[in-house]
Chain A
Amino acid sequence: MSNNYFEILRAGINTTFQDKGRNNLYHIGIPFSGAMDNRNYLLANKLVGNKLDLPVIEFAYQGPLLKYNGDKINIAITGDVIFELKKKDNKIQGNCYESYQLENGDEIDILSTNKSVYGYLSISGEYNVKLQWGSCSINTKANIGSNNGKKFDNGQKINISKINLNQEKKKTNYLNSKVENIRVIKGTNFDYFSEDGKKIFFEKEFIVSKLSDRMGMRLEGPKIENIVNTNIKSEGLLKGVIQVPTDGNPIIMLSDHGTIGGYPKIGVVISADYDRLVQISPGSKIKFKEIELSDAETLFKLYEMETQNLISQI
C-alpha cells in the first residue's frame, strides 16, 4: 500500500482522472475521452516537472476538497480556478499556473472554476492508476478507465505511487481568454437545412444549456429548421461535430461522445478552438463563424506553436 495519498473530503461535481485519451477504438464504440482542455492538461504536468502525458485530476465547476497525507510533494492547478491551500495555521489563496509544496496534513480546497468549466490538478509524481487501452481516462458513461470508470466519491483515497525528487518551484503567466466566437467548418449535411436555418446558425447567438457534460454541449436559442430529413443513416461522429436533431437545437459532440449518430451534421468546430469551446460555461453565449479548411489548418499550426511556446517557457 502507498503511504502517500489524498483523502477526498468532498469529491466535487465531476472529478475524474484524465490523460491524453484513447486512440483507435471508435470502430468498437469507445470514444477518445482524455482531458477536455488539452492545453491546460499539458501545462499542469509541465508545472510540476512531469512528463506531459501523465494522468491528472480533472474537475468541473466545483472541484474537490482534498487532504494530503505523505511526504512533501508539489502540486499545480491550471485553468481559471479559485482555490485555497490550508496549511497548519494559515490559509493561502492559490494562484493557477504556480506550483505549491504540500506537506503531511495540508488541504487543497478547489472552490470553483471561474466562468469556465474544467480545471486540472497535477502532482510532482504519479497517481496509482489503472490503464485501459493505454489510458487512465475515466469515461463514466461506459465505466471505462481508472477508478472502475466512475467519478470520484467522498471518502475515497487517491493513492500516489511515486513522488519526484526534484521539486523546484515553477510558475508561468497564462490567461485563459474568454471567447464567444467559435470557428466552424460546414458539415457534411449542411444542405439539409433551410436558407433561414443556415443563416441563423452563423448569425445568431446561442446559449449553452445546463444539460451539457463531457459527452456533449447542448445549445438553446433560435431553432434551426431542417428541410430534408431529420434523420440520416447512423454514421461516425467526432468531437466538435455539431448535430441538429428534430427539435432544431444544436448539440456539439465532446470528448466522451457516442461514436455514431443519426442526426444531420451542420458543422464541425475547428481543432484550434476545441479547448476554448469546452470551457464555455452553461448560460454563456456562443456564436459560430464559418471558416475554410485551409484556414483551419493554419490556425491549428498557430495554436500548436503557441502551446509549445507556453510549455517551453515553464
Chain B
Amino acid sequence: MKNISNLGDAALYCDFGIEVNKKINSEVIKYFKAIKEKNIQGINNLTPSYNKLIISYDLRITNFKELKDKIEKLDIKKTEKVINKKLEIPVCCDDSFSLDIERVKKKLNLTRDQILGNFFNKEYFCYMTGFIAGMPFLGDLDKNMRVQRLETPRIKVPKGSVGITEQFADIYTFESPGGWNIIGNTPLEVFDSSKEKDPNLINSGDTVIFKQITLEEYKNYNEQ
C-alpha cells in the first residue's frame, strides 16, 4: 500500500498505485479480504477497486486517526491464501443482443468474426464488482480490442448485456443506464438477491472464460 488518506470524515482512502494491473489489484483484494476477516469494530463497508480500497466507518464508533493506525499495523501476510473460482459464462452474440457491434467494428477496424474470435475462449480476471449490484469488471482485453465508452450512454441497457470498454468487459446484472459497448448477452443469473450469503456469481479475484452460444442454446438455457 502506498498511503492512506481521508475521503471525507468517515472513510479511509487506501492507495495502491496508479496503474491497473493484476499485481496491484491482487494486493487490493488481499487487504480487502484480510480486513474483512478481522471484523474491526466501527468499519461498516469496504470497497475494493482496481487500485484503491475505501474503508468506511461509523463516526460514532471510531475516527480517521484511530482506524488508520489499526490498518497500518495489520499483519496482512498471515492471511491464508484464498481460493478463487474459475467460471464459464455463456454469451450469445445474435444481432438482437450485440447492440454496438457495428460501432465496435468501425472503431477497431476489425470484422465481426475477428472481434468475437479475440473475445471468446480466453481468461479474464475479475478486478472488482460494483457500480450496480454484482456487476463484474473483467480484464484484460487484447490491445487491439480496446474501445472508448459510448459518447452518449444508454438510458436502459438490457439485463444480461455483455459490454466492453477500454481493457475491460462487464456484465449488466439487471437493466440499468450504462455507456459500455454491448456485444452480446448471457442467460446466466449473475446477481441473485435472494441468495443473501453469496448473491454474486463472480467475485473479485475469480477467473472467467466467455463461451459463445447460439440463439437457440440461449433460449433453451434456463429451461434445462
Q: Does B59 contact A (CB under 8 A)?
A: yes
Q: Are A234 and B8 in contact (CB under 8 A)?
A: no
Q: Does A211 contact B (CB under 8 A)?
A: no
Q: Does A26 contact B (CB under 8 A)?
A: yes
Q: Give per-residue flags for A235-267: 1 if the beta carbon is below 8 A from chain B beta carbons, else 0.
A: 111101100000000000000001111000100
Q: Does A227 contact B (CB under 8 A)?
A: no
Expressed in whole angstroms, the minimum distance between the Cβ of A122 and any Cβ of chain B is 22
Cα A79 to Cα B56 with chains together (Å) = 28
Selected interface stretch from B44-52, B84-92, B99-107, B114-122: B44-52
From A26, A132, A265, A268, contact of B46 by CB (8 A) = A26
Expressed in whole angstroms, the minimum distance between the Cβ of B37 and any Cβ of chain A is 12
Residues facing A in B1-59 (CB within 8 A) are 5-11, 13, 18, 20, 32, 36, 44-54, 56, 59
Cα A24 to Cα B57 with chains together (Å) = 10
Residues facing A in B185-224 (CB within 8 A) are 191, 193, 196, 199-200, 203-204
Cα A260 to Cα B133 with chains together (Å) = 10
Expressed in whole angstroms, the minimum distance between the Cβ of B168 and any Cβ of chain A is 9
Expressed in whole angstroms, the minimum distance between the Cβ of A254 and any Cβ of chain B is 14
Residues of A within 8 A of B98 (CB): none
Expressed in whole angstroms, the minimum distance between the Cβ of B26 and any Cβ of chain A is 15
Residues of A within 8 A of B200 (CB): 28-29
Cα A183 to Cα B56 with chains together (Å) = 19
Cα A141 to Cα B173 with chains together (Å) = 12
Q: How many A-B residue pairs have CB under 8 A?
A: 130
Q: Are B11 and A238 in contact (CB under 8 A)?
A: yes
Q: How many residues of B contact A (CB 8 A)?
A: 47
Q: How many residues of A contact B (CB 8 A)?
A: 41
Residues of B within 8 A of A236 (CB): 47-49, 52-54, 130
Expressed in whole angstroms, the minimum distance between the Cβ of A297 and any Cβ of chain B is 6
From B8, B51, B128, B131, contact of A271 by CB (8 A) = B8
Cα A32 to Cα B46 with chains together (Å) = 12
Q: Does A304 contact B (CB under 8 A)?
A: yes
Residues of B within 8 A of A176 (CB): none
Residue of A nearest to B52 (CB): A235
Q: Please indicate which of the listed interface residues B11, B45, B51, B52 has the most CB atoms of chain A within 10 Å of its own CB.
A: B45
Cα A27 to Cα B37 with chains together (Å) = 14
Expressed in whole angstroms, the minimum distance between the Cβ of A33 and any Cβ of chain B is 11
Q: Does A30 contact B (CB under 8 A)?
A: yes
Cα A27 to Cα B179 with chains together (Å) = 21
Cα A162 to Cα B48 with chains together (Å) = 41
Cα A180 to Cα B130 with chains together (Å) = 32
Cα A233 to Cα B167 with chains together (Å) = 11
Q: Are A297 and B49 in contact (CB under 8 A)?
A: no
From A30, A237, A271, A304, contact of B133 by CB (8 A) = A30
Q: Give per-residue flags for A23-54: 1 if the beta carbon is below 8 A from chain B beta carbons, else 0.
A: 11111111010000000000000000000000
Q: Are A268 and B9 in contact (CB under 8 A)?
A: yes
Residues facing B in A277-298 (CB within 8 A) are 293, 296-297
Q: Are B49 and A233 in contact (CB under 8 A)?
A: yes
Residue of A nearest to B173 (CB): A29
Q: Are A141 and B176 in contact (CB under 8 A)?
A: yes
Cα A267 to Cα B156 with chains together (Å) = 29
Cα A176 to Cα B193 with chains together (Å) = 37
Q: Are B8 and A27 in contact (CB under 8 A)?
A: no
Q: Are B193 and A300 in contact (CB under 8 A)?
A: no
Residues of A within 8 A of B48 (CB): 27, 236
Q: Give per-residue flags for A206-249: 1 if the beta carbon is below 8 A from chain B beta carbons, else 0.
A: 00000000000000000000000000011111101100000000
Residues facing A in B131-173 (CB within 8 A) are 131-135, 137, 173
Q: Does A70 contact B (CB under 8 A)?
A: no
From B7, B49, B199, contact of A188 by CB (8 A) = B7
Q: B-contacting residues of A (Cβ < 8 Å)?
A: 23-30, 32, 132-133, 141-144, 149, 185, 187-188, 233-238, 240-241, 258-261, 265, 268-271, 293, 296-297, 300, 304
Give 8 closest A-B pairs by Cβ, nearest first: A236-B47, A268-B8, A236-B54, A296-B9, A29-B130, A29-B133, A259-B130, A235-B49
Q: Apart from A187-B7, A271-B8, what 18 extra A-B contacts exist at CB < 8 Å? A: A23-B45, A24-B44, A26-B46, A27-B47, A27-B204, A28-B134, A29-B133, A185-B9, A188-B13, A235-B49, A236-B130, A259-B47, A260-B49, A260-B128, A268-B7, A271-B59, A297-B9, A297-B63
Q: A-contacting residues of B (Cβ < 8 Å)?
A: 5-11, 13, 18, 20, 32, 36, 44-54, 56, 59-60, 63-64, 128-135, 137, 173-174, 176, 191, 193, 196, 199-200, 203-204
